[in-house]
Structure 1
Amino acid sequence: MPRFAANLTMMFTEVPFLDRFAAAAEAGFTAVEYLFPYDFAPEEIAERLRAHGLRQALFNLPPGQWDAGDRGLAALPDRAEEFRASIATALDYAKATGVGRIHMMSGLARREDAAALRSYRDALARLCDAAGEAGLEVVIEPINSRDMPGYFLNDFDFAADLIAGLDLANLKLQFDIYHRQIIHGDVLTGLRETMPIIGHVQIASVPERHEPGTGELDDLRVLRELDALGYEGFVGCEYRPAGETVAGLGWMRAFD
């Protein structure tokens, strides 16, 4: 049975962020993820996790100035110093929350740009080294160009080749079913081929990014395939509820 993690950036938005931990626990979740925790002190986040018996599944490194359009720093050579500082910040939150993996966003850059590719590879090596010392995995996630135009890492095959080429023991693939379907399709084959390098999975329906089972894919079949493949990690529910969050959780009853 999949271990679901509520994505608190997208779910339970009926209440303020810090109150979403309680809401997720009351709805039956035992783990949470979100994009960024950095508007709150590490101790505040850790206390919410402890108070509600939740595990932290994942969060992202600081992305730069999100509201100004930044979507990560790793592939931006002129932001290397800022990226290095972001590692220390993320590791502080990782230590406080007990998370086992962190996601590194690439940023907006052309993959054909040699300087961007070199910056991205160097950033991964630097982060994996620091995260490895802290006992953490690093995951990278291809994101589709429809939702995030210009994103550097927008291809699953490229990501898999990069992971193989860098050969870093704690570098894994974040397999987002929503992004995979939009970029390549062929979701089940993709899962089967990349399962050995997958560190985290996320799900949302395609194309509206609502609850699983409401779009063009048979999401429940995909989730059952994860079980069949022996996946034991978390499945992040990174979707935007079509209505009130709790009212839309009926799709999970298939796994009761």
Structure 2
Amino acid sequence: MPRFAANLSMLFQERDFLDRFAVAAACGFRGVEFLFPYEWPAAEIRARLDENGLEQVLFNLPPGDWAAGERGLAALPGREREFADSVELALDYATALDCRRLHVMAGCPGPDVDPRDAMATYVANLRLAADRLEPHGITMLVEPINQRDVPGYFLRDSAMAQRVLDAVGRSCAKLQFDLYHAQVSEGDLCMRLRNLMPLIGHMQVANPPDRREPSEGEVNFPYLFALTDALGYEGWIGCEYRPAGTTEDGLGWAEPYGISACR
């Protein structure tokens, strides 16, 4: 049976962030992920995880200036020192939270950057990150993000991700396969799952076209969840979707997997 992790940056937004851990656990989630923890002390998040019997399964490295539109540093030439510092900060949090997966965001280099320079910077930075994270038992993840949601994002599709992972050449480097981004960018999800499964270190889910619950949109997710089981996937699937209403009202899709509204 698939294991679903609540993305606390997206779900339960009716509550303050630190209160979302308890309600996620009450609804039956046993794992959580979020975009960034850096606004809160690691010890405070650790306490919420322990109080509610939750596993921290994933978060992202610092993205640069998020408010200004930055979506990662790894493929940005000239920002290597800042990227290296971001690896150390993320590693401190991952150690405190016992988190075994970190997503390294590529970023949006911009039209004035030669794509060859961006790729060389990206691969070098990923190797640096992998070499720092692997001794701690942490999987480093890269995620293709669709151009509709994040125009100009450097890592665009699964074929490019495969080339990047081959170039990085580190055993701890894996693919974060977001079914929403893959459907928007490429489609053919069943064949992509079959072909990419050996590379996948984490999965996420939302339903196009509006990034809603897995029951609201164009994809037959029960079929895909059964396929991930059949393919032997034993990792987490992060619920990184925007609820159509309240999170609890939209959890009907998850009842067959032991998750339901906690009211």
Alignment of 1:60-139 (within 5 A): 60-109=60-109, 113-139=115-141
Deviation at 1:254, TM superposition (A): 2.6
Which residue does 2:24 correspond to in 1?
Answer: 24
TM-score by length of 2: 0.95
Alignment of 1:33-52 (within 5 A): 33-52=33-52
Asked if structure 1 preserves the Cα contact closer than 8 Å seen for 2:124 and 2:168, the reply is no
Counterpart code for 2:90: A
Does residue 144 (structure 1) correspond to residue 146 (structure 2)? The answer is: yes
Which residue does 2:217 correspond to in 1?
Answer: 215
TM-score by length of 1: 0.98
Asked if structure 1 preserves the Cα contact closer than 8 Å seen for 2:71 and 2:108, the reply is yes
List runs of 5+ in structure 1 lacking aligned partners: none
SS of the counterpart of 2:180?
Answer: helix
223, 236, 239: which one pairs with 2:238?
236
Counterpart code for 1:164: D
Counterpart code for 1:37: P
Which residue does 1:193 correspond to in 2?
Answer: 195
Post-superposition Cα deviations, 1:205-227, rounded to whole Å, max 9, x if no partner, equal: 11111100211110111111000
Counterpart code for 1:223: F
Identical positions, percent: 50
List runs of 5+ in structure 2 lacking aligned partners: 259-263
RMSD value, Cα: 1.1
Between the aligned partners of 2:166 and 2:221, the Cα distance in structure 1 is 28
Asked if structure 1 preserves the Cα contact closer than 8 Å seen for 2:61 and 2:102, the reply is yes
Between the aligned partners of 1:124 and 1:185, the Cα distance in structure 2 is 27
Which residue does 1:170 correspond to in 2?
Answer: 172
Between the aligned partners of 1:234 and 1:252, the Cα distance in structure 2 is 14
Size of the alignment, in residue pairs?
256
Counterpart code for 2:205: I
Between the aligned partners of 1:169 and 1:244, the Cα distance in structure 2 is 40
Counterpart code for 1:242: A
Counterpart code for 2:11: M
SS of the counterpart of 1:78?
Answer: coil
Post-superposition Cα deviations, 1:39-97, rounded to whole Å, max 9, x if no partner, equal: 00111111110011000010000001101111000011111111010011000000011
Between the aligned partners of 1:73 and 1:224, the Cα distance in structure 2 is 36
Between the aligned partners of 2:25 and 2:164, the Cα distance in structure 1 is 37
Does residue 57 (structure 1) correspond to residue 57 (structure 2)? The answer is: yes
Asked if structure 1 preserves the Cα contact closer than 8 Å seen for 2:103 and 2:141, the reply is yes
Counterpart code for 1:115: D
Between the aligned partners of 1:166 and 1:95, the Cα distance in structure 2 is 23
Between the aligned partners of 1:254 and 1:46, the Cα distance in structure 2 is 29
Deviation at 1:112, TM superposition (A): 5.6
Deviation at 1:126, TM superposition (A): 0.1
